Amino acid sequence: MPAVLELRNVSKHFPGHTAVDQVSFEAPRGELFSLLGPSGCGKTTTLRLIAGFESPTTGEIFLNGEPVQTLPPYRRNVSTVFQNYALFPHLTVRANIEFGLRRGKVPPDLAARVAQVIELVRLSGKESRYPHQMSGGEKQRAALARSLVLAPGVLLLDEPLSALDPNLRKQVRAELQQLQRRVGITFLFVTHDQEEALSVSDRIAVMNSGRIEQIGSPRELYLQPRTRFVASFLGEVNWIDGFGVRPESIRVSRHRPEGSLPTREATILRANFLGNRIQLETRSASGDPVIAEVPRLDAAFSSGDPVHLWWRPSDELRFAE
Amino acid sequence: MKRLLALRWLPVYAAGAFAFLYLPLLVLAAFSFNSSKFTVWQGFSLRWYQAAFADTQLSEATANSLIIAFTATILSTAIGAACAYGLWKRTNRTLLGVVYLTLVTPEIVTGVSLLAFFEAFFRYLHARLGLHTVILAHIAFSVAYVVLVVLARLRTLDARLEEAALDLGATPWQAFREVTLPSILPAVVAAALLAFTVSFDDYVITSLVAGVGSETLPMVIYALARRGVNPVLNALSAMIFLGLGALVLISQALTRRAETPGADTK
Amino acid sequence: MPSNSDASSRLRRLFLAPSWLVLVSLMVAPLAIVLAYSLLTRSPYGSIGKPWSLDNYSRLADPLYLAIFLRSVWIAAAATLLCLLLGFPLALFISRSGERKNLYLTLVILPFWTSFLIRTYSWMFLLRDTGLINSILLRLGLIHQPLPLLYNYGAVLLGLVYGYLPFAVLPLYATLERLDPSLLEASADLGARPWQTLLRVTLPLAAPGFLAASVLIFIPCLGAYLTPDLLGGGKTVLIGNLINNQFTTARDWPFGSAASLVLMAIVLILLLLGLHRRGEALL
């Protein structure tokens, strides 16, 4: 399947620093692709390069096989959902959604298309509201509708959940994923929240200091991270003798396990009650701190207890560096 | 000392301060209805208003002032608002510096330098001072007010709105016209009203660059004031203060409305 | 490589072009001409020409003109001080007025923007020999001769304070408004009486407002022409009158130009010393 969006060796230098450094990736039609990384890693700049708000210093950007890096934003078939939604405050929801359709020749089926997308994002009955009369979730859906009505090749979403109330985020996240499946448009989702990225994405590119560290499915990235950065950005890691083991992969028992599994002797320092599980802070015989998370039912440890830590060899995260 | 500084006297003081600001104007307005020519109250009369309206010199000067203020306001608002928009996303320090320079240059210096400038050029162009030189001078000093008022509003505006417009297919001009301009329009109108009052009231610069036959209302008022007691002047003052005061109030209301939350999504 | 923002920056340049044209041709060029004139010489017939010289500037060192400059500085300083003294309590009052703040602020701003000329004239109406104050005092029999209230430096000072009081209130209000109320509560909590809090906490923290207000008032007062001319009559001479006379009655433009530039220099030096971008507080 041909890629809808492709970046080839794209770099963006600002005076004094390189925001995006030799970034390349492809996103096929219908994929939900995420750019994940800490703030300042270049993910938002990458999105702005694709949207056309910035131009790359070097490199090429292709949309449906056509190079677009020299086109202004209004000539690119991509659309952006902004972090703060950037709904036009002086226009109603309907006028906001119609804005893009009214640019050139007004399409004859404008009303039908607008009605369809309003239905799609469940804003029926709220078409005549102004942005300041709407809740955060409604604003987000209005912003989505405004972009989706143009049937863009790629929809760019810049931290679209960060402006929402934390207890609303999970719900909206699921809705967003369902919506993407239904419209079948490629979504490029920018976020710093690894849980968010892992739960919604088909594939994720993890970025650090302007570079892509690794691209893969959520499962690949979490279970087979290629760099220490990816491993530790996606979750907790214990560093033991040069390889990593995630806390939930570690088993804890009073007696030495049967067989030839990798094992370390350790002492419990603290047991932290986390509700659904217990976090055990331990110190191994070699002096390294090791954290293990075990089901609540397993755990009857208290500080000072000597224990054995063990795990499956396939759970070891090993890196070339 | 302690007693004097007691803060409960603050409202009393404030009342006194507002009286200081407004009493001279109110007294002037009151005496514009006095039937006597002297500063002794004799009875209510509108004779000085009738005299003011009957005076052809005054009506000519008023016409001149209105022509100048309208023309200068329209041009300086267009130029100043465009300038503010141009400075919004990327500041040009040199241009902004010149804007501030026009604001801090003492009026008398602006006036004599414009006089010197016009005379120097008109010697070659065989042109003369007149209404057009006054209009140019007024544009020169009111552009800066417009720039600052509109720029202050733009700085509270979300720059992403224009990006969103471009992203949805609008050209830069369409983005300005359909997204930014509607948001800043109240501020632009407020700036225009201020430019109008500043232009309508100016004496110092105007008197230096106005030619023969292009007397403005402030020039006539000034001449009358220097000559002595003139109850027509009281009537005129009351009317001007009321008229310009209304414009300032509208301007203030427009500026405030733009500041209230809800008018903008943040 | 063509930039994506080509059309945007073209629009931007287009929008800035008229203001460049207006400001360069009607502000910068005129000042440049005045600079040139100040270095030229006036012929006995009033025309301006070579030789180039600094004579116009050295003439300003004459005790007569030096006195005018010093007097102007003195009056502007006195007006500034009075505006600050009178303006601070008013600003304090407004900053503590809750919902009425905007109303009071508008009341302060209204006369300032409306008409400087008419406000000055209103004091002529009050202070004249046949003005309201003298009429009342004569009628009450408190005086038998009208008091010489108008046409002196006192009247000029009064006019300047009246004219520029809003310039004190607005920046002072702006700083008081930004003051963290918990600082005042902390002061009270630590045992300070209200007036002690005012002196030890509020006043020092309002220092930037005082600085901004001082510069904003001092500069226009120093170059004032209208107020000294109307309220001082022909009897008071300040820098503004000096410059105006050289360009009108005396027709000595080179000397008037030199005086203008010295005034500009004082203004710019003060600005560089005291103020960066606080002029915005006024608008």
Nearest-by-CA chain B residue for A72: B166
pLDDT band at A242 (very low <50, low <70, confident <90, very high): confident
C53 Cβ under 8 Å from any chain A Cβ: no
**C7 to A72: CB separation less than 8 angstroms, yes or no:** yes
From the CB of residue C245, how many other CB atoms can be counted at a distance below 10 Å? 16
pLDDT band at A259 (very low <50, low <70, confident <90, very high): confident
Top-level class of domain B56-259 = mainly alpha
> Is C51 within the bounds of a domain?
no
* pLDDT averaged over every residue in chain B: 87
Judged by average pLDDT, the poorest of A243-247, A258-262, B162-166, C81-85 is A258-262
ipTM above 0.90, yes or no: no
Question: Which residue of A45, A54, A99, A188 is the best one to mutate when testing the B interface, meaning the one whose CB has the most B CBs within 10 A?
Answer: A99
Judged by average pLDDT, the poorest of A4-13, A175-184, A194-203, C36-45 is C36-45
Residue numbers in B near A51 (CB within 8 A) = 163, 167
The whole-number mean pLDDT for each consecutive block of 10 residues of chain C, a chain of 283 residues, reads: 62 93 94 93 78 88 92 95 94 88 90 87 86 84 82 91 93 87 77 77 85 89 91 84 90 92 92 62 40
A150 Cβ under 8 Å from any chain B Cβ: yes
Closest chain A C-alpha to C16 CA, distance in angstroms = 21
> Is C23 within the bounds of a domain?
no
| Interatomic CA distance for residues A255 and A247, integer angstroms | 19
pLDDT at C207 (0 to 100): 86
The more confidently predicted of residues A50 and C10 is A50
What is the H or E stretch that residue A25 is in? strand A17-28
Q: How many helices (H) and strands (E) does chain B have?
A: 13, 0
pLDDT at C5 (0 to 100): 58
Judged by average pLDDT, the poorest of A88-97, B44-53, C12-21, C77-86 is B44-53
> Is C10 within the bounds of a domain?
no
B·C CB contacts under 8 A: 259
pLDDT band at B264 (very low <50, low <70, confident <90, very high): very low
Residue numbers in B near C264 (CB within 8 A) = 105-106, 109
| Interatomic CA distance for residues A51 and A46, integer angstroms | 9
pLDDT at B3 (0 to 100): 46
C2 Cβ under 8 Å from any chain A Cβ: yes
pLDDT at B102 (0 to 100): 92
B181 Cβ under 8 Å from any chain A Cβ: no
Nearest CB to B27 within list C132, C260, C279: C132
- Domains of chain A with bracketed CATH: 3-229 (3.40.50.300), 236-315 (2.40.50.100)
pLDDT at B229 (0 to 100): 65
Q: Which domain holds residue C147?
A: 59-282
> Is C12 within the bounds of a domain?
no
Residue numbers in B near C90 (CB within 8 A) = 13-14, 17
Mean pLDDT value across residues A208-224: 94
What crossing angle do the helices spanning C253-274 and C239-247 adopt, rounded to 10°? 150
> Is C151 within the bounds of a domain?
yes
B97 Cβ under 8 Å from any chain A Cβ: no
A72 Cβ under 8 Å from any chain C Cβ: yes
Tokens of B177: 């016209």
Closest chain B C-alpha to A80 CA, distance in angstroms = 7
> Is C41 within the bounds of a domain?
no
Number of domains comprising chain C? 1
The more confidently predicted of residues B96 and C48 is B96
pLDDT in tens, A278-310: 899 999 888 889 999 988 776 578 888 899 999
Whether cis (ω within 30° of 0) applies to the bond prior to C2 is: no
Question: What CATH number corresponds to the domain at position C115?
Answer: 1.10.3720.10
**B163 to A89: CB separation less than 8 angstroms, yes or no:** no
Domain ranges of chain B: 56-259
| Interatomic CA distance for residues B223 and B198, integer angstroms | 19
Mean pLDDT value across residues B84-93: 90
B43 Cβ under 8 Å from any chain A Cβ: no
A113 Cβ under 8 Å from any chain B Cβ: no
Residue numbers in A near C6 (CB within 8 A) = 72
Of C109, C107, C110, C105, which Cα lies nearest the Cα of C94?
A: C105
pLDDT at B259 (0 to 100): 58
Handedness of CA A289, A291, A296, A297 (dihedral sign): negative
**C33 to B105: CB separation less than 8 angstroms, yes or no:** no
**B106 to C223: CB separation less than 8 angstroms, yes or no:** yes
Handedness of CA C271, C272, C273, C277 (dihedral sign): positive
pLDDT in tens, B60-82: 999 999 999 999 999 999 999 99
pTM for the full predicted model: 0.84
Q: Is A104 a residue whose pLDDT tops 80?
A: no
pLDDT in tens, B6-43: 567 889 999 999 999 999 999 888 888 888 877 778 88
> Is C44 within the bounds of a domain?
no
**A54 to C4: CB separation less than 8 angstroms, yes or no:** yes
Nearest-by-CA chain C residue for B218: C117
